[in-house]
Structure 1
Amino acid sequence: MRMSKKLTWVSKISFGLGAFGKDAVYAIVSTFLLYFLTDIKGVAPAFVGTLFLVARIFDAVNDPIMGVIVDNTRSKFGKFRPWIMLGTVLNAIVLIFLYWNTSLSGTAYATYIAVLYILWGMTYTIEDIPYWSMVPALTDDPKERDQISSIPRFFASLAWLVVGSGGFAIIGFLGKGDSADGFSKFAMIISVVFIIASTLTCLKCREAHETPKNTEKTSLKQMVKILFTNDQVLVVLGIAAFFNLGYQLENSFATFYFKYVTGSADGTLFSVYTGVAGIAQMATLALFPSISAKIGRPVAYLIAAITQIFGFAALMACGFIAPSNIILVGICSAIINIGIGFMLVLVTVSLADVVDYGEYKFGTRNESVIFSTQTFVVKLAGAVSGFISGIGLELIGFVENTAQSPQTITGMRVLMFVIPGIFAIITYIIYKRFYKIRGTFFENMKAELEKRR
């Protein structure tokens, strides 16, 4: 069925607000949980790294299953919105307890955190899968699809800006000297924002077409077939995997790098770095539809790789020449995050095109199954990067709240810059060599789908 109705700006902004809420939640966990558990609560880094690996792999495996559940949902509210609200409420509750300033310690606290972290990942999946799966269901117009992919990424970057750059200041204000209490109150505020944002998304965003109730449902066997016969799903999985490995590794190590390598113990440089990062991403995301229309997505992929690699190299060099120079840190952060901003949208629009490719090749769209691969990869990358971070801290001889040895500082630089830069190179190579939904093939595919509809 052709989607002829244009999306209103109210719908577009409401959809974006949903990303603000859920990414504020993801930001406080991704950016601060490792720091919270090791530096504040004194949990062993190796335990935290292992927990991140095991929990996120378990959670990632659930993503395609959740995709099948959503694709098979038939209700008067559509197949996406019921799950978005359920996942939001459950995840908000778990987040509060994850950062709860409990008096537990030792094995009891480790067990408490392990259970809650696993629950947090599972409940986030319930909301995240149907949210991103709505993208191809909202519109099939390429220009609108670029918009509806970039707008939520814009709001997501705004969430990361607020949580990342303002996090330490907010936590300090709320905790009044007690960081653990500050984190607890901050998590409560973010949870409330999450619920409000998702409510607006569900009230103002509707699928452009409903799935007929008599449509054949997707089985787990069919899910596996969809994922492994659609070659372009696997290509985008590879792109998303290496991009997110680098992005999340750099993101999780930033707090340690700026505190222990640059000597900014009060969090000033970290706040500048993440603040500029958020602004750069937001600017890139706001301009992406017009930039993409002029230069095309292949050039956008190239720009994304070059800016990340150059930015990482420049910031590492600054660490030797002028480690505490705020202006240089800001410039390097902007360069890195222009590339990251491009990649955040490019992965989403590429997956939306893969949904169309599946319809073109096999006659089925399977939005939720295909978009579940994105969250699967993000979480798997989070698992691996979290494991690398935790084990890496142990291997390089990290000791919290003390001056680090030269070997430890070198290790932090490698984990913060060198490895993410290598991953950015691999990401572009995969796109250049294997992604084919572009150029003449893309135009012919769209024309054929228009005829069928």
Structure 2
Amino acid sequence: MKAAALNEDHTYHKAKIWQIGFFTLNNTATNLYMFILAFVTYYATGIVGLTVVAVSTILTLMRVFDGITDPIIGFIIDKTESKFGKFRPMMVIGNIILAGSILIMYNVTHLLPESLQLVFFILVYAIYVVGYTMQTACTKAAQTVLTNDPKQRPLFAVFDGVNNTILFTGGQVFIASYLVIKHGGFTMALFHELNTYAILAGFIFTVLAVIGIASKDQKEFYGLADLTVQTKFRDYWPILKGNRPLQMLIIAASSDKLTLSVLRHAVVVVMLFGILLGDYSLSGTISMIIIVPTLLITFAGVWYARKTDLKKAFVISTWIGLLAFGMLVAFLFTIDPTTISLSDMGLATIGFIVLYTLGMGFGALPSALVNPMIADISDYETFKSGRYVPGMIGTLFSFVDKLISSLAPALVGFAVALIGYKETFPEIGDTLTTSLYGMTIFLAFGIPVLGWIASLIAMKFYHLDSKKMAEIQTSIAEAKEKAEEKRMSEPSAELVGESEDMLNTILNPK
């Protein structure tokens, strides 16, 4: 069969648009929990009474533990075959664990004796991590069964980008402009209300995601199906060692994740808007302003990815984000940041909003492109070795990614401790000192610039472009077709067994 005909008729299995949109909500559900846990530092230090360094260290260690659990969960996913598929059971169980651990953490920890609080907090957080890993691993691994059409895979980034924009910007507006004002700061009442909304929304998102993947979570979409190579846990290292695209995407994406984790850290947002700019509610207002431009940037980026390939869209968007934040750093050192105000739409305000929008919009786009790129890498591994191990690929990625991005809470904690905040984190309205001024700009914009430079260097060695992916999908489709022809031409084991029994009866009558 000619390659062109093969591409048209057999290579690609497609999903309905609503299936892609629904399944994307699985990532939104876990991002929702990640978002509300960004404020756990204020619960742990302000209500429970743990120290800044202790909380920062715990969060870093839990992020490392999160990475360690990834390969285990990925291996389980790859070995799972049930009437509910590979992925749906993990998604549901993971979400239940997330909801339960959040309820226990915020309702019990501060009521315990002081000697037990630290240990209990760590234990419940570790349980939360297991649930988070179970659900997030499915987002990456199930991309391979959702669709392998290069024109469809980038669409995941559209839905994911829209959902994340609404979640992170809308969520910041909701907290800064409503909950903080309503409850007078980060109080228990605020956490109770916030967590209730998150648990209900996360459950709804998970149910819709299960519906979206249901018809695709079937054996016929699992790699080479009948030709799947058996893989053992010890194969993790050879796969990571021999898969260059996986190595490069891990470096690029984990650098991006670290930058965004630092930039979106609740303490950094307080430092930037609540202290440097002098108006914490501005964080919510500006987040609302940049929603539409960010969505337009996402649509444009995905359109470009579908016209060219995911790699080119990743690289160009990273470059634009890098240049925008580099200019923003220089800009903030030449103006008085307190003049940035929506009541005074002067050069300072306009310049900040434009550069901040470009940096946030284009800087976040690569993270939305990562999940379909992981699916490409999983297909590359199937093409190269015959193994269908999307769980292993996705969680190998997550393992190293989380080890690197786990530096975010520790980096923020030790950075503010370096300038004098050893017992509490910077609070809204604190005096803006020279050291706080410099550290705020470094954490909010300097770290992203450095991370994006590392990302661009890694992508120079990532070779899965549109031409290579067409070759990969054609090869996989041919292998599947040959396997099916072989299966149809050979008698089944059952028939062979019956024939042998009949022959033995004839030749050896009793």
TM (normalized to structure 2)? Answer: 0.80
Residues 1:304 and 2:317 are matched in the alignment = yes
Which residue matches 2:98? 91
Of 220, 227, 233, which aligns to 2:246?
233
In percent, how many aligned pairs have the same letter?
20
Which residue matches 2:89? 82
Which residue matches 1:163? 171
Which residue matches 1:365? 388
What's the offset of the Cα at 1:362? 0.6
Which residue matches 2:369? 346
Which residue matches 2:438? 410
Which residue matches 1:148? 156
Aligned partners of 1:294 and 1:99: how far apart in 2?
A: 47
Rate the CA distance shift 1:446–1:214 in 2: closer, same or farther, 3 A: closer
Name the stretch that deviates more: 360-369 or 14-23: 14-23
What's the offset of the Cα at 1:422? 1.0
Equivalences for 1:4-83 in 2 at 5 Å?
Answer: 5-30=13-38, 32-38=39-45, 42-83=49-90
User: Which residue type is aligned with residue 68 of structure 2?
Assistant: V
Equivalences for 1:101-120 in 2 at 5 Å?
Answer: 102-104=110-112, 106-120=114-128
> What is the RMSD computed on CA atoms of the aligned residues?
2.7
Residues 1:257 and 2:272 are matched in the alignment = yes
What's the offset of the Cα at 1:183? 1.5
Which residue matches 1:331? 354
Check conservation: 1:62, 1:122, Cα contact below 8 A: yes
What's the offset of the Cα at 1:440? 3.8
What's the offset of the Cα at 1:389? 0.9
Aligned partners of 2:379 and 2:443: how far apart in 1?
A: 37
Residues 1:100 and 2:123 are matched in the alignment = no
> 1:280-315: per-residue Cα shift (whole Å, max 9, x none)?
443333343322234544442332222222232343
Aligned partners of 1:134 and 1:3: how far apart in 2?
A: 18
Of 459, 464, 480, which aligns to 1:437?
464
> 1:386-444: per-residue Cα shift (whole Å, max 9, x none)?
11111111112135444243123212222222122011111001101x11112543333
Name the stretch that deviates more: 385-394 or 168-177: 168-177
Name the stretch that deviates more: 191-200 or 151-160: 151-160
Name the stretch that deviates more: 97-106 or 243-252: 97-106
TM (normalized to structure 1)? Answer: 0.90
What's the offset of the Cα at 1:70? 0.6
Aligned partners of 1:349 and 1:276: how far apart in 2?
A: 28
Residues 1:451 and 2:478 are matched in the alignment = yes
Rate the CA distance shift 1:306–1:414 in 2: closer, same or farther, 3 A: same
**Runs of at least 5 residues in structure 1 that lack an aligned partner in the other structure:** none
Check conservation: 2:11, 2:477, Cα contact below 8 A: no
Aligned partners of 2:326 and 2:393: how far apart in 1?
A: 35
Aligned length: 449
Of 231, 241, 247, which aligns to 1:218?
231
User: Which residue type is aligned with residue 445 of structure 1?
Assistant: I
What's the offset of the Cα at 1:216? 5.8
Aligned partners of 2:18 and 2:251: how far apart in 1?
A: 34
Aligned partners of 1:39 and 1:331: how far apart in 2?
A: 35
Which residue matches 2:257? 244
What's the offset of the Cα at 1:276? 4.5
What's the offset of the Cα at 1:108? 3.7
Check conservation: 2:322, 2:449, Cα contact below 8 A: yes
> 1:240-276: per-residue Cα shift (whole Å, max 9, x none)?
1211111111211223222222222xx2122134445
Equivalences for 1:176-187 in 2 at 5 Å?
Answer: 179-187=187-195
